[in-house]
Amino acid sequence: MRVVVLGTAAGGGFPQWNCACPLCSECRAGAADVPARTQDCLAVRAGEGWYLVNASPDIRAQVLAAPVLAPGPGPRDTPLRGALLTDAELDHTMGLLMLREGGGLRVLAPPAVLSALAPVRDTVSGYGAWSWSSTVDLPGLAVTTFAVSDKKPRYAAGVTAPGPWVVAYRITDPATGGALVYAPCLRSWPDGFDEFVDGAAYVLLDGTFYSAAEMTGTGTSTSAQRSMGHVPIDGPDGSLVRIARHPGTRWCYTHLNNTNPVLDRRSPEYAVVRDAGVAVPLDGTVLTL
């Protein structure tokens, strides 16, 4: 199984277009150790094609930057076959509209997510026949889901469909036994999640915020990070202490918010994460399982 990490930033990307915080400013100034990142998204090889895991608003640039996703040999052939969605957030679904020219794509997501995306489904149906299903299956791969949250997107506050609204995916190649877990949004470390990730070769995990008080005093928000649906990296209830329970797994942080000091590879926070054996992959990183 081959996986391309197309994007690694949280909603808004990095630098965020409307943010002049120190990290975004450093990135705009071209600091080599503070590289730009697009919004989080994966591409997974399945059979003769590729499937996205989430469809970010940056999907056009991400596809163009990935040679394996280039069209051909026919003038309108594409290796993209569809997308799996972890949730209905705009930064994970808006890319579907950018893919509207692709005929016959499949979108696989929890029922609540499909309900929230009714307007997107109606829009896309005017361009081509897509299939939308809550039955998750990929050619040649085994896929299981794990419910991690019932947090709805703001725009879907009136949607009454029962959850889960946010899931993690475990994708396994039966031929090699290699497994990848993708969990870019974790409100907490839920019961059973240790068992879900056990034995995985790679886990791409929610790294949105480094600390539980990270955004306090930045001028960006006064909301608590946990209310936004993201467990911090650091602290007694953070993900880093949980990761230590799985020494045989390669861990990577993704969905990094523009306030996260880990974005600066010169920072002590970045050193803490790397010293713990956790990677902070750049956009375009290729994983082979």
Query: ω before 73 within 30° of 0 (cis)?
Result: yes
Give the pLDDT score at 216: 62
Query: Average pLDDT for residues 209-215, to the nearest whole number?
Result: 85
Give the pLDDT score at 192: 97
Please say if the pLDDT value at position 229 is more than 70: no
Give the pLDDT score at 4: 98
Query: Average pLDDT for residues 80-103, to the nearest whole number?
Result: 96
Instruction: Tell which phi-psi region holds residue 82, choosing left (phi > 0), alpha (psi between -120 and 50) or beta.
Output: left
Q: Pick the closest to residue 147 from 171, 166, 172, 134 (CA basis).
A: 166
Query: Average pLDDT for residues 66-81, to the nearest whole number?
Result: 95
Give the pLDDT score at 278: 97
Question: What confidence tier does 222 reach under pLDDT thresholds 50, 70, 90?
Answer: very low
Please say if the pLDDT value at position 221 is more than 60: no
Q: Which residues have CB under 8 Å from 61's CB, separation 6+?
A: 38
For 139-193, write each residue's pLDDT tens digit.
Answer: 999 999 999 999 999 999 999 999 999 999 999 999 999 999 999 999 999 999 9
High-pLDDT (> 70) share of the chain, %:
95
Contact of 223 with 271, CB cutoff 8 Å:
no
**Full-model pTM:** 0.95
Residue 225 CB burial class (10 angstroms; 0-12, 13-18, ≥19): buried
Contact of 151 with 184, CB cutoff 8 Å:
no
Q: Which residues have CB under 8 Å from 160's CB, separation 6+?
A: none
Please say if the pLDDT value at position 104 is more than 60: yes
What architecture is the 2-281 domain classified under in CATH? 4-Layer Sandwich (3.60)
Measure the CA angle with vertex 201, ends 191 and 267; round to 5°: 85
Question: What confidence tier does 261 reach under pLDDT thresholds 50, 70, 90?
Answer: very high
Please say if the pLDDT value at position 254 is more than 90: yes
Residue 227 vs residue 268, higher pLDDT: 268
Min mean pLDDT across 107-121, 201-215, 249-263 is at: 201-215
For 107-134, write each residue's pLDDT tens digit.
Answer: 999 999 999 999 999 999 999 899 999 9
Q: Pick the closest to residue 54 from 117, 129, 123, 139 (CA basis).
A: 117
Give the pLDDT score at 213: 80
Give the pLDDT score at 214: 81
For 22-57, write each residue's pLDDT tens digit.
Answer: 999 999 999 999 999 999 999 999 999 999 999 999
Give the integer Cα–Cα distance in Å for 81 and 45: 10
User: Chain-wide mean pLDDT for the chain?
Assistant: 94
